[in-house]
Every structure is written in structure tokens, then in C-alpha cells.
């Protein structure tokens, strides 16, 4: 079939946040055939530059489509009881050690079919999309058998086919020790390295591999074996690091070329330096910090000093961040971690794309993919300053307007 170019779409007089900064004057933006093909100061725009384009919008703030680079969106059930137990004083670690937490979601997820998981994940994905997400990373990690981890990854891939959104998948087999491996965590890591990773790679179901390196999860030595297996199979590496204690997991991940180290409240200067040298992105997850009422702040000043790119994500999951509201994350990153609105926005666009190994995404530039958001606000900082659903005027995915209000 011949390739039919899509008709061009033109936005006039929009304030553009390009993924790193707010452009100094209102812009005209042209999109053709799934790409941004023109970007001019509106005052200098001559309609002859885009003679066949239709005007799609005028005024407002345009950002790249939001990139949510760390989610656990596919799972069954919910954990409101655990939330109540934490309010009564139990800690996240105590609940996990007593067989609750992640393992309770594992029980529900193992019992669910692919169709049931898809049905439960879809509204969460729609909530992210309704608040501007055009690319989302989805982890497995609630199956913990080869079949159940692959089932989760298949659901994640299907979400990307059924909805207008880019889905990047991550195998998180090393998330928690399943009960059938009690007392044999090395044996479970053998399964992850010798069966899960090869199977996920073989079926093309995972883009990357992640681990939970923590005293309630897996040791640095075990995580290192997982990184080696990921490398053997050509998969990217990510790490849940320094969330509850300093295990040196970020530096370890950096040594293996990790794309990102995520959470990092307990990260120290050596770890920051290692990340800077390796180009590992620091992914901040203020939803988990907020939900667990953490007090230890991630080392924002050190990350700035060493110029480690900071990404920001929802960590949407049933335990530590039951929140599918990406622009709330912009606000939490500013109020809790003292990011500037500009840093927070870069964290959910350009830097989040880097955390996923997608250098073209999360930006507005000539040639970049036309994944865009037009917001009913006057300046980009408003997206972080006010917490308010419903500000997304248009969502453009792959050059097509998929949401309009």
C-alpha cells in the first residue's frame, strides 16, 4: 500500500516548554506525518511556510507528551487494608516481612487472567493519558514465576496496542522473594537469570530488566547477577535503589551502564559521582515518598552539582504509590523535593525519555516525534504549581490529536 502522508497540523501562538526550557517567545508549531516539522517564533511565521496545514489550536502552553518512566501499572487487586495498617503504625517493611505488601499483590496477580489484568490496568492507563502521558514504562514484578512474569509483560505490550500510547516494558522478576523460594533467594535469582530473562528476551517482551536492591528484597551481589544476565541478552538495566537504605545499588547499576537508578532517597555522594560518570539518570518518585511518609530526602543538591539528569515518575503501584496523576507528581517534586517547576517538567519529559533510552522522545524540536500536549494554562510552571485535573486541552500522539476538550 502506498504511504499516505497525514495532512499537516499547525498550532499558533503557543508557549512552548521544549523538554528542557520554556522558549522565550510564543511559537508556531507544525506537525506532519507523525513528526514536528516546523517550529518558528509566531511573530515571524509566514502562512506560506505551511500552506496545506490545518490550524489545530491557538494559545495555551505546549509541552512534549509526558513520559512516565517508572510504573507498575499492571497488577490485580488493591491494598487499602495495608494503607490502614500503616496508618495504625505498621511500617512498609514490617508488612512486607509479614508476607503482605508486594506478595499480597503477587497472590492476586497470579490468580488473574491476562484479560482480567488488562481490564484492571486500562483505567489506570487512561487516567495517565487523560493527564498528558504519551509514553509509559510498565514493569512486571507481581508474577514471580516465568509464566506469570511473561503474562504481565504480555498485558503491558497489549496495552500499547489497544491505546494510543507508547509502552516500554521492564522485567522486574527480582522484585520480591516468592513464598515457594523462602530461604532460597539465590535459587530464585537463578530462575530470574536462567529462565525469566532468557524467555522474556526470546519473546521480545521486555525492553529492560529491573531489580529491587534492598534489605527487604535482594542483595547487591544478587542484583549484579541479574545485571549480567540482562547484558548477556542485550536488555537495558534499571534499578530500584537506595529507597529504604543505602546499599550502593545506584553505583553498582552505574557500573553496569544502568539507564536509571530510581527512588534514591539514601543515595550518597559516591553514588551520585558514579551515576554522573556512567550517564545514569536519577529517577525521583515523590508519590512513594509521600505515601510512605518518608523523611529522608533524595540528594537533589548533589545531583545538580554533578549534573545528573533528574527524571520524575508516578511509580503507580498498589502499595507505595497508588496514584495515577502525573501532574500531581510535578507538584510533589517541587513541594517535597524542592525541584523547580522547570526541573520537574524536564523530569517528566526529556529526562524521563533518557531514563528509558529514548533520546528522540520527550522533546519538541524539528524532527522529534509529534507526541505533544496542549494545556489550558498561561505558563508552564502552573502545571507544577496547581493541582487540578482537566487542564489537558489536546493530547497529540504520533501526530494525531487523540484527546480534545
For binding to ligand NIG (CB under 6 A), which residues are involved?
72, 101-102, 105, 212, 240, 243, 288, 315, 317-320
# residues near Fe ion by CB under 5 A: 1
Choices 154-162, 163-171, 250-258, 308-316; region in contact with Fe ion by CB under 5 A: 308-316
Q: In 63-196, where does DSSP find H-type helix?
A: 80-87, 92-97, 102-111, 114-130, 146-162, 185-191
Report in angstroms how near the CB of residue 132 gets to ligand NIG at its nearest.
21
Q: Is 32 in the site for Fe ion (CB under 5 A)?
A: no
64, 242, 292 from 239: Cα distances, Å: 26, 9, 19
Residue 182 is classified by DSSP as T
Report in angstroms how near the CB of residue 123 gets to ligand NIG at its nearest.
18
Among 36, 117, 76, 29, CA closest to 318: 76
Distance CA 353, CA 349 (A): 6
Are 258 and 278 spatial neighbours (Cβ–Cβ below 8 Å)? Answer: yes
Burial group, residue 44, by CB count within 10 angstroms (0-12, 13-18, 19+): exposed
User: What 3-state class would DSSP assign to 3?
Assistant: coil
Q: By Cβ distance, which residue is nearest to ligand NIG?
A: 319
Cβ atoms within 10 Å, residue 211? 32
Report in angstroms how near the CB of residue 387 gets to ligand NIG at its nearest.
21
Q: Is 131 in the site for Fe ion (CB under 5 A)?
A: no
Are 28 and 38 spatial neighbours (Cβ–Cβ below 8 Å)? Answer: yes
Residue 319 binds which entry of Fe ion, ligand NIG, none, CB below 5-8 Å type-dependent: ligand NIG
> 63 or 71, CB closer to Fe ion?
71
User: What 3-state class would DSSP assign to 215?
Assistant: coil
Q: Is 214 in the site for Fe ion (CB under 5 A)?
A: no
Q: Is 294 in the site for Fe ion (CB under 5 A)?
A: no
User: What 3-state class would DSSP assign to 80?
Assistant: helix
> 73 or 384, CB closer to ligand NIG?
73
Residue 212 binds which entry of ligand NIG, Fe ion, none, CB below 5-8 Å type-dependent: ligand NIG
Residue 243 binds which entry of ligand NIG, Fe ion, none, CB below 5-8 Å type-dependent: ligand NIG
Q: By Cβ distance, which residue is nearest to Fe ion?
A: 315
The DSSP H or E segment spanning 139 is strand 133-139
Choices 158-166, 310-318, 335-343, 381-389; region in contact with Fe ion by CB under 5 A: 310-318
> 127 or 217, CB closer to Fe ion?
217
Report in angstroms how near the CB of residue 271 gets to ligand NIG at its nearest.
17
> 271 or 287, CB closer to ligand NIG?
287
Q: Is 210 in the site for Fe ion (CB under 5 A)?
A: no
> 207 or 265, CB closer to ligand NIG?
265
Report in angstroms how near the CB of residue 233 gets to ligand NIG at its nearest.
23
Report in angstroms how near the CB of residue 64 gets to ligand NIG at its nearest.
24
Q: Is 148 in the site for Fe ion (CB under 5 A)?
A: no
Q: Is 315 in the site for Fe ion (CB under 5 A)?
A: yes
Are 145 and 111 spatial neighbours (Cβ–Cβ below 8 Å)? Answer: no
Strands 392-397 and 400-404, by their bridges, are: antiparallel
242: left (phi over 0), alpha (psi -120 to 50) or beta: left
Are 114 and 169 spatial neighbours (Cβ–Cβ below 8 Å)? Answer: no
Instruction: Collect all residues with Cβ–Cβ distance below 8 Å to 126 and sequence separation of at least 6.
Output: 163
Are 220 and 246 spatial neighbours (Cβ–Cβ below 8 Å)? Answer: no
Report in angstroms how near the CB of residue 288 gets to ligand NIG at its nearest.
4
Report in angstroms how near the CB of residue 69 gets to ligand NIG at its nearest.
12
Kindly state the cell numbers that stand for 305.
552539582
Q: Is 68 in the site for Fe ion (CB under 5 A)?
A: no
> 326 or 399, CB closer to ligand NIG?
326
Distance CA 372, CA 388 (A): 19
> 236 or 286, CB closer to ligand NIG?
286
> 337 or 397, CB closer to Fe ion?
337
Site residues (vs Fe ion, CB under 5 A): 315
Amino acid at each position: 500500500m502506498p504511504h499516505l502522508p497525514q495532512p499537516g497540523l499547525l498550532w499558533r501562538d503557543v508557549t512552548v516548554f521544549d523538554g528542557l526550557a520554556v522558549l522565550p517567545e510564543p511559537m508556531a508549531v507544525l506537525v506532519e506525518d507523525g513528526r514536528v516539522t516546523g517550529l518558528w517564533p509566531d511573530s515571524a511565521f509566514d502562512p506560506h511556510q505551511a500552506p496545506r496545514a490545518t490550524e489545530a489550536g491557538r494559545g495555551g502552553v505546549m509541552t512534549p507528551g509526558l513520559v512516565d518512566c517508572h510504573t507498575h501499572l499492571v497488577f490485580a487487586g488493591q491494598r487499602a487494608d495495608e494503607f490502614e495498617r500503616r496508618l495504625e503504625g505498621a511500617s512498609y517493611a514490617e508488612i512486607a516481612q509479614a508476607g503482605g505488601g508486594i506478595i499480597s499483590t503477587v497472590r492476586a496477580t497470579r490468580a488473574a487472567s491476562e484479560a482480567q489484568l488488562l481490564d484492571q490496568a486500562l483505567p489506570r492507563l487512561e487516567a495517565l493519558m487523560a493527564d498528558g502521558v504519551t509514553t509509559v514504562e510498565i514493569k512486571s514484578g507481581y508474577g514471580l514465576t516465568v509464566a506469570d512474569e511473561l503474562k504481565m509483560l504480555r498485558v503491558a505490550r497489549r496495552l500499547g496496542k489497544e491505546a494510543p500510547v507508547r509502552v516500554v516494558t521492564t522485567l522486574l522478576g527480582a522484585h520480591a522473594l516468592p513464598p515457594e523460594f523462602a530461604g532460597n533467594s539465590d535459587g530464585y535469582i537463578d530462575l530470574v537469570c536462567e529462565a525469566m530473562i532468557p524467555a522474556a528476551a526470546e519473546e521480545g517482551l521486555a525492553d529492560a530488566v529491573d531489580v529491587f536492591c534492598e534489605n527487604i528484597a535482594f542483595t547487591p551481589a544478587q542484583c549484579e547477577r541479574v545485571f549480567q544476565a540482562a547484558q548477556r541478552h542485550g536488555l537495558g538495566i534499571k534499578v530500584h535503589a537506595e529507597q529504604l537504605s543505602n546499599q550502593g545499588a545506584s553505583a553498582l547499576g552505574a557500573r553496569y551502564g544502568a539507564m536509571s537508578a530510581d527512588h534514591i532517597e539514601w543515595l550518597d555522594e559516591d553514588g551520585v559521582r558514579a551515576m554522573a560518570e556512567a550517564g545514569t539518570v536519577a529517577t525521583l518518585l515523590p508519590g512513594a515518598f509521600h505515601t510512605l511518609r518518608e523523611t529522608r530526602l533524595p540528594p537533589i543538591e548533589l545531583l545538580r552539582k554533578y549534573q545528573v539528569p533528574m527524571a520524575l515518575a508516578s511509580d503507580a503501584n498498589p502499595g507505595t504509590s497508588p496514584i495515577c496523576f502525573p501532574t500531581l507528581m510535578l507538584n510533589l517534586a517541587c513541594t517535597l523535593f524542592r525541584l523547580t517547576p522547570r526541573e520537574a517538567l524536564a523530569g517528566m519529559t526529556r529526562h524521563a525519555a533518557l531514563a528509558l533510552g529514548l533520546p528522540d522522545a520527550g522533546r519538541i524540536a524539528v524532527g522529534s516525534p509529534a507526541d505533544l500536549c496542549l494545556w489550558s494554562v498561561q505558563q508552564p510552571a502552573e502545571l507544577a504549581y496547581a493541582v487540578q485535573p482537566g487542564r489537558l486541552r489536546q493530547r497529540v500522539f504520533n501526530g494525531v490529536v487523540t484527546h480534545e476538550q
